[in-house]
């Protein structure tokens, strides 16, 4: 008997699938569609285990849905713009496009070896003109709808590299590449008006029933809706400032007002631009702002101005105005009214600067003389010391009442404030989608005419030039439109823009006229199941939701409101970390086990320190290369292992032993397959095991179907093992050929989403040529006619009786009386109460 040769089998089926085009999808209104999408990869060079896990999960689902008769679309593409290409190209002196395309072809081959059911005809790459020209058109459309605008905004500026850095590229206040101290610089940038949809994006979350709650909560917090009031404070002092606006959620504590605090970037700061002390203070603020620790400790510092702010509800009260480090310019109005008694931050600040702390809310049940002492009180209660507001219930009643009064007296307005800010999409980078805009000599903006799209990225640019390489490319930059001279916008779009609409492009990946074809998105959208890492919980998913809403804005053809109906966030793949005696990271291949300690390979004196299991990363060298693993064990074995060890939403530990076990299991399964094959050939008409085989198969259909529906993919693998164990036993028995054949076919079908090559090979080996469909559960067979009844006495399990299904209480009692257990536990003691759960258990309550 041959061993299972995964190499030939997997290659054979991968070729077959590709040639026959089984995974090709097209609109077919006679069938229900299922759009399965995994987050497309960045072509960094090679696939990693995270990809293997992500795409295996999606593949199991796609194959399962196909077998169920759905018209499945399962596409794949490349998130191909971005900085790594630009950096790699600079380091190796080559073209980012070349580098990217080479990576794409490598990774595509690797993905194919996993045996994924992907419709490669729909492949897209965001860095190709075919893709980004449509993105430019969308940009212009959004511009026309008023959803795109330009404004000055602060950015992280690297003065050495002359470029803008993303927040995550600023490490301890320094540029990640140059090491230069990052400056805050105001730059003109393009923005998408995502905040216009704040409320819609928030409300939409309620409809996303198949999203993890965790992600919805994160988005909700990110959008950050708060209800409150804007209050205009009159000011007095030696500056030409008459009033300052604040946003507050607690206007009801206005009688506890004791100072007003401004952000150092507040417009009033312009009057202090020559003040040396203020400059010093501002520097101090930016220092504390950078480290997370400083924020956690949260030392509050302030700079006192000569201004006084007037309490609008009590004009005789005038309080000092400070600049303070804890006030953010981009939230509310960059100004806060301080009420130390009921806000911990304000409390800390007041303590430090010796400001009044006046209690205006007491907890229910306290005396009116209640006073805040060691910390602010922000809980519910009753208003005190607040004149006409006294006795109101805080917070709900008091806030509404106060806002009413402020509005009536024209001192303030009810206001809903969102934390969500508009999306700055300009990047001073080469390797991205050019923004299709231009400027005349006066700096006036015009969109590039649609007929001139796409604005192509120029080739042969000098990536080593300071700043944006596009800026240096004068022959590209200077253009003429309708005989008039213009200069192109040289910024490119944030790569998140590319991934905000790629799910639409997959529906019509070849459509040349427009980003999508209406009838195709009408059929395929929304994505039924989206699968990816939780690290995209906010940005990518929020931007995609925004893009859908923006395209649907003033466009009645756009029928769906949300791009992703279902979302599944898979966990990471982890591995132990290793360090040698010099504290250098070692990869798993660089170590070996001698006795029971690890040493560096070939260096028995260099003991290895085993660190905690962490997400695989190149920097910690705790990576396992999927290519090697597939090479040694085959795709099905890898799939089996990656699914088996943990629920897909949780992190999984890579284990060599587990991997080997999966490999060995397939070998065992192949042996079993051959025994089954022999048995079927013999054409016997046994009866012994038929019934139990049918029952088992039917129960397995039920279990595996339910586990697929619930994403319990690790349990499916356990079910496959169970099935092996069962058949391995029953195969000894006398079975009828036809029964064995029919049931085995069903079982192989159940296996095929997880181990597709193996299952296909076995099915073919037995000439199961008819169309393979997901087996149907026989409800009658599901119910065993013998039940294990749990017999409890006073709630304790005392026995299990195998009796017939649907037995009533009295009959079961009679059986119990006949049992020796009755003698032992019951004797003649009176039974006080009987709890009987049909087909499950009986609990007898007696006096002990």
Least CB distance from residue 701 to RNA, whole Å?
14
Handedness of CA 244, 250, 252, 255 (dihedral sign): negative
Among 295, 416, 687, 776, binds RNA (CB under 7 A): 295
DSSP letters for 261-309: EE-TTSGGGGGGTT-HHHHHHHHHHHHHHHSHHHHHHT---EEEEEEEE
Tokens 């806060």 locate to 336
Among 69, 146, 298, 363, binds RNA (CB under 7 A): 298
CA angle 592, 598, 603 (to 5 degrees): 65
Among 17, 132, 247, 486, binds RNA (CB under 7 A): 247
- Which range of residues in 91-99, 321-329, 682-690, 810-818 is near RNA by CB under 7 A? 321-329
Helix or strand or coil: residue 491? Answer: coil
Q: How far apart are alpha carbons 250 and 226 in whole angstroms? A: 11
Among 100, 490, 544, 712, binds RNA (CB under 7 A): 712
Contact 126, 76 (CB under 8 A): no
Closest CB to RNA among residues 87, 226: 226
Nearest one of 374, 343, 349 to 361, comparing CA atoms:
343
Contact 326, 264 (CB under 8 A): no
Least CB distance from residue 534 to RNA, whole Å?
7
Site string for RNA, 625-654 (x = CB under 7 A): -------------------xxxx--xxxx-
Among 162, 232, 288, 587, binds RNA (CB under 7 A): 288
* φ, ψ for residue 417, nearest 5 deg: -110, 135
- Which range of residues in 174-182, 211-219, 468-476, 623-631 is near RNA by CB under 7 A? 211-219
Could you tell me which residues come within 8 angstroms of residue 193 by beta carbon, excluding any fewer than 6 positions away?
Answer: 146, 147, 148, 149, 422
Least CB distance from residue 346 to RNA, whole Å?
8
337 lines the binding site for RNA (CB under 7 A): yes
Question: What's the token pair of residue 435?
Answer: 């923004």
Residues 427-486 that bind RNA (CB under 7 A): none
Among 120, 149, 278, 331, binds RNA (CB under 7 A): 331
Pairing of β 302-311 and β 433-434: unpaired
Q: How far apart are alpha carbons 398 and 380 in whole angstroms? A: 10
Among 44, 317, 655, 674, binds RNA (CB under 7 A): 655
CA atoms within 13 A on the CB side of 63: 22
Nearest one of 748, 678, 693 to 720, comparing CA atoms:
748
Size of the site for RNA (CB under 7 A): 81
- Which range of residues in 96-104, 322-330, 453-461, 750-758 is near RNA by CB under 7 A? 322-330
Residues 797-816 that bind RNA (CB under 7 A): 797-798, 800
- Which range of residues in 401-409, 579-587, 717-725, 769-777 is near RNA by CB under 7 A? 717-725
Pairing of β 573-579 and β 652-653: parallel
Q: How far is CA 676 from the centre of its chain?
A: 44
Closest CB to RNA among residues 101, 712: 712
- Which range of residues in 131-139, 194-202, 247-255, 617-625 is near RNA by CB under 7 A? 247-255
Tokens 């003065």 locate to 159
Closest CB to RNA among residues 609, 664: 664
Closest CB to RNA among residues 123, 348: 348
Q: Where do runs of H (alpha helix) occur along 409-557?
A: 469-472, 474-477, 495-498, 502-505, 518-524, 539-552
Contact 260, 322 (CB under 8 A): yes
Least CB distance from residue 835 to RNA, whole Å?
4
Residues 540-599 that bind RNA (CB under 7 A): none
Closest CB to RNA among residues 661, 813: 661
Closest CB to RNA among residues 178, 290: 290
Contact 506, 123 (CB under 8 A): no
Residues 35-74 that bind RNA (CB under 7 A): none
Residues 729-758 that bind RNA (CB under 7 A): none
Contact 12, 678 (CB under 8 A): no
Least CB distance from residue 393 to RNA, whole Å?
19
Residues 778-797 that bind RNA (CB under 7 A): 788, 790, 792, 794-797
- Which range of residues in 101-109, 183-191, 594-602, 716-724 is near RNA by CB under 7 A? 716-724
Contact 396, 244 (CB under 8 A): no
Q: Which helix (H) or strand (E) holds 184?
A: strand 183-192
668 lines the binding site for RNA (CB under 7 A): yes
Residues 382-421 that bind RNA (CB under 7 A): 417, 419
Residues 822-841 that bind RNA (CB under 7 A): 833, 835, 837, 840-841
610 lines the binding site for RNA (CB under 7 A): no
Closest CB to RNA among residues 222, 558: 222
284 lines the binding site for RNA (CB under 7 A): no
722 lines the binding site for RNA (CB under 7 A): yes
Among 557, 657, 767, 847, binds RNA (CB under 7 A): 657
- Which range of residues in 28-36, 319-327, 398-406, 512-520 is near RNA by CB under 7 A? 319-327
Q: What is the length of the chain?
A: 848
226 lines the binding site for RNA (CB under 7 A): yes
217 lines the binding site for RNA (CB under 7 A): yes
Residues 171-200 that bind RNA (CB under 7 A): none
The DSSP secondary-structure symbol of 775 reads: P
Q: Is the peptide bond before 395 cis (omega within 30 degrees of 0)?
A: yes
Tokens 């029952």 locate to 695
Closest CB to RNA among residues 14, 719: 719
Least CB distance from residue 727 to RNA, whole Å?
12
- Which range of residues in 248-256, 390-398, 621-629, 747-755 is near RNA by CB under 7 A? 248-256
Q: How far apart are alpha carbons 566 and 564 in whole angstroms? A: 6
> First-to-last CA distance in the chain?
63
Least CB distance from residue 5 to RNA, whole Å?
16
Q: Where do runs of H (alpha helix) occur along 116-197?
A: 129-144
Closest CB to RNA among residues 597, 725: 725
CA atoms within 13 A on the CB side of 244: 33
Closest CB to RNA among residues 213, 557: 213
Closest CB to RNA among residues 18, 801: 801
Could you tell me which residues come within 8 angstroms of residue 571 by beta carbon, excluding any fewer than 6 positions away?
Answer: 53, 646, 647, 648, 649, 650, 651, 652
Among 715, 760, 763, 807, binds RNA (CB under 7 A): 715
Among 173, 458, 552, 658, binds RNA (CB under 7 A): 658
Among 22, 160, 166, 328, binds RNA (CB under 7 A): 328
248 lines the binding site for RNA (CB under 7 A): yes
Question: What's the token pair of residue 249?
Answer: 């959620």
Q: What is the radius of gyration, based on Cα positions, of the chain?
A: 34
Least CB distance from residue 415 to RNA, whole Å?
10
219 lines the binding site for RNA (CB under 7 A): no
Q: Which helix (H) or strand (E) holds 517?
A: none
Closest CB to RNA among residues 466, 805: 805
Distance set, CA 736 to CA 688, 697, 743 (Å): 8, 15, 11
Among 173, 204, 237, 289, binds RNA (CB under 7 A): 289
Question: What's the token pair of residue 749?
Answer: 């079908």
721 lines the binding site for RNA (CB under 7 A): yes
CA dihedral 672, 678, 684, 689 (to 10 degrees): 0
* Count of other CB atoms within 10 angstroms of residue 554: 12
Closest CB to RNA among residues 94, 730: 730
- Which residues are registered as beta bridge partners of 578? 586, 610
């Amino acid at each position: 008997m041959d061993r299972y040769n995964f190499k030939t089998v997997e290659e054979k089926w991968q070729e077959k699938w590709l040639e026959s085009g089984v995974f090709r999808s097209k609109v077919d209104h006679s069938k229900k569609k299922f759009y399965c999408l995994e987050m497309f990869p960045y072509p960094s060079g090679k696939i990693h285990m995270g990809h293997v896990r992500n795409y295996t999960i999606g593949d199991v689902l796609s194959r399962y849905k196909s077998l169920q008769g759905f018209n499945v679309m399962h596409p794949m593409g490349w998130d191909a713009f971005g900085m790594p290409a630009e950096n790699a190209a600079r380091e190796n002196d080559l073209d980012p496009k070349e580098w990217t395309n080479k990576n794409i072809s490598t990774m595509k081959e690797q993905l194919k070896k996993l045996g994924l059911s992907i419709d490669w005809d729909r492949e897209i790459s965001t860095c190709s003109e075919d893709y980004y020209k449509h993105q430019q058109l969308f940009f212009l459309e959004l511009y026309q709808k008023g959803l795109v605008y330009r404004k000055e905004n602060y950015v992280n500026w690297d003065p050495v590299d002359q470029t803008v850095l993303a927040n995550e590229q600023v490490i301890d206040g320094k540029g990640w590449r140059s090491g230069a101290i990052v400056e805050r610089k105001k730059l003109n940038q393009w923005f998408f008006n995502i905040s216009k949809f704040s409320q819609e994006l928030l409300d939409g979350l309620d409809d996303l029933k198949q999203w993890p709650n965790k992600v919805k909560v994160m988005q909700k917090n990110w959008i950050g809706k708060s209800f409150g009031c804007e209050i205009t404070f009159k000011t007095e002092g030696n500056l030409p400032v008459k009033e300052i606006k604040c946003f507050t959620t607690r206007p009801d504590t206005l009688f506890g007002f004791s100072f007003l605090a401004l952000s150092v970037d507040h417009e009033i700061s312009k009057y202090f631009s020559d003040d040396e002390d203020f400059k010093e203070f501002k520097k101090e603020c930016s220092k504390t702002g950078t480290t997370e620790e400083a924020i956690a400790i949260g030392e509050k510092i302030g700079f006192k101005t000569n201004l006084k702010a007037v309490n609008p509800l009590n004009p005789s009260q005038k309080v000092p105005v400070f600049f303070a480090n804890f006030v953010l310019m981009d939230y509310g109005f960059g100004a806060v009214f301080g009420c130390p008694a009921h806000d911990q931050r304000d409390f800390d600040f007041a303590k430090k600067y010796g400001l009044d702390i006046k209690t205006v809310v007491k907890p229910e049940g306290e005396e009116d003389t209640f006073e805040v002492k060691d910390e602010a009180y922000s809980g519910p209660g009753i208003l005190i010391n607040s004149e006409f507001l006294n006795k109101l219930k805080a917070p709900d009643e008091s806030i509404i009442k106060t806002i009413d009064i402020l509005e009536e007296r024209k001192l303030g307005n009810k206001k809903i404030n969102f934390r969500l800010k508009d999306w700055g999409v300009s990047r001073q980078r080469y390797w991205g989608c050019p923004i299709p805009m231009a400027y005349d000599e006066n700096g006036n903006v015009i969109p590039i005419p649609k007929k001139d799209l796409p604005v192509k990225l120029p080739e042969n640019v000098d990536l080593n030039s300071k700043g944006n390489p596009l800026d240096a490319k004068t022959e590209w930059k200077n253009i003429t439109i309708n005989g008039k001279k213009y200069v192109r916008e040289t910024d490119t779009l944030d790569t998140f823009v590319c991934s905000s609409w790629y799910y639409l492009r997959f529906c019509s990946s070849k459509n040349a006229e427009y980003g999508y074809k209406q009838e195709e998105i009408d059929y395929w959208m929304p994505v039924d199941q989206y699968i990816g890492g939780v690290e995209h919980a906010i940005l990518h998913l929020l931007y995609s939701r925004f893009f859908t809403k923006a395209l649907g804005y003033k466009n009645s053809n756009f029928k769906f409101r949300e791009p992703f109906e279902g979302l599944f966030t898979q966990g990471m793949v982890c591995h132990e970390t290793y360090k040698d005696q010099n504290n250098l990271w070692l990869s798993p291949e660089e170590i070996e086990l001698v006795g029971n300690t690890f040493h560096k390979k070939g260096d028995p004196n260099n003991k290895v320190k085993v660190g905690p299991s962490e997400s695989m990363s190149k920097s910690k060298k705790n990576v396992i290369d999927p290519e090697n693993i597939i090479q040694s064990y085959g795709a099905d074995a890898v799939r089996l292992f990656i699914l088996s060890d943990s629920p897909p939403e949780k992190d999984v530990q890579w284990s060599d032993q587990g991997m080997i076990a999966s490999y060995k299991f397939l070998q065992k399964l192949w042996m079993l397959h051959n025994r089954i094959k022999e048995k079927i050939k013999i054409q016997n008409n046994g009866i012994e095991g038929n019934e139990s085989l049918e029952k088992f198969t039917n129960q397995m259909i039920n279990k595996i179907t339910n586990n697929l529906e619930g994403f319990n993919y690790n349990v499916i693998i356990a079910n496959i093992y169970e099935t092996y164990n069962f058949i391995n036993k029953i195969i000894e028995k006398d079975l009828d050929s036809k029964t064995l054949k029919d049931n085995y076919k069903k079982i192989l079908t159940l296996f095929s989403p997880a181990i597709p090559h193996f299952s296909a090979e076995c099915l073919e080996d037995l000439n199961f040529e008819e169309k393979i469909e997901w087996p149907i559960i026989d409800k009658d067979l599901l119910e065993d006619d013998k039940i294990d009844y749990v017999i409890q006495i006073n709630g304790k399990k005392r026995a299990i009786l195998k009796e017939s299904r649907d037995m009533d209480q009295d009959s079961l009692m009679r059986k119990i009386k006949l049992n020796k257990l009755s003698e032992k536990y019951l004797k003649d003691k009176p039974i006080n109460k009987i709890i009987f759960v049909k087909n499950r258990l009986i609990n007898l309550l007696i006096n002990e």
